[in-house]
Amino acid sequence: MGDPWPADLPGVLTLPSGRRVLGRSMRAAPPAPQPEFGVYLVGRRPPETAWEQVWVPWRDFGLPAEPDVLRLALATAWVRAAHQRVEVACGGGTGRTGTALACLAVLDGVPADEAVAFVRHHYRWRAVETWRQRRFVLHFDDDELPGHAASA
């Protein structure tokens, strides 16, 4: 297992627990050293990588097609981020990635009603682009998440 991401690397979000997760656009190459685990939030299966990955089907500006797949992927990412370089990425690295990072912040103990502001302050100021994505984060720790991609 590798060293964590450097805290000053662009795109790295440091969670309150100290875990560091890299958020990025899939249009950009991952930095060196390579990730050890990736969560990819895109409509079509992403290309294979040299590291382990999870694909969460999720169209741009929408919500994940299968919220339970996202929950499991983020729970895995959160655990692995304690000892591995984990990245979360979508097409542009802002909306879907920001939403997933805000959900990771909720898993890390940030109150759901503060998670979007936390990610916007510590990752990207435009993260979490739609009101549906904000609502998704607000209800991430609920038993039932609002909306699926079909209603987005």
* pLDDT tens figures, 32-70: 899 999 999 999 999 999 999 999 999 999 999 999 999
Cβ pair 100, 71 in contact under 8 A: no
The pTM is what? 0.92
What is each CA distance from 133 to 14, 56, 59, 110, in whole angstroms?
21, 15, 12, 17
Of residues 144 and 61, more confidently modeled? 61
Cβ pair 123, 23 in contact under 8 A: yes
DSSP 8-state secondary structure symbol assigned to residue 94: S
Q: How far apart, in whole angstroms, are the C-alpha atoms of residue 96 and residue 94?
A: 6
pLDDT band at residue 141, thresholds of 50, 70 and 90? confident
Check residue 58 and give its pLDDT.
96
What percent of the chain shows pLDDT beyond 70?
A: 93
CB neighbour burial string for 112-128, b if at least 16 within 10 angstroms, e if fewer: beebbebbbebbbeebb
Average pLDDT of span 97-104: 98
Check residue 152 and give its pLDDT.
37
Is residue 149 scored above 90 in pLDDT? no
- In whole numbers, what is the pLDDT of the chain averaged over residues? 92
Of residues 3 and 91, more confidently modeled? 91
> Which domains can be identified in the chain, with CATH numbers?
12-141 (3.90.190.10)
CB neighbour burial string for 40-58, b if at least 16 within 10 angstroms, e if fewer: bbbeeebeeeeeebbebbb
- Residue 65 in 3-state DSSP? coil
79-97 per-position pLDDT tens digit: 999 999 999 999 999 999 9
Is residue 12 scored above 90 in pLDDT? yes
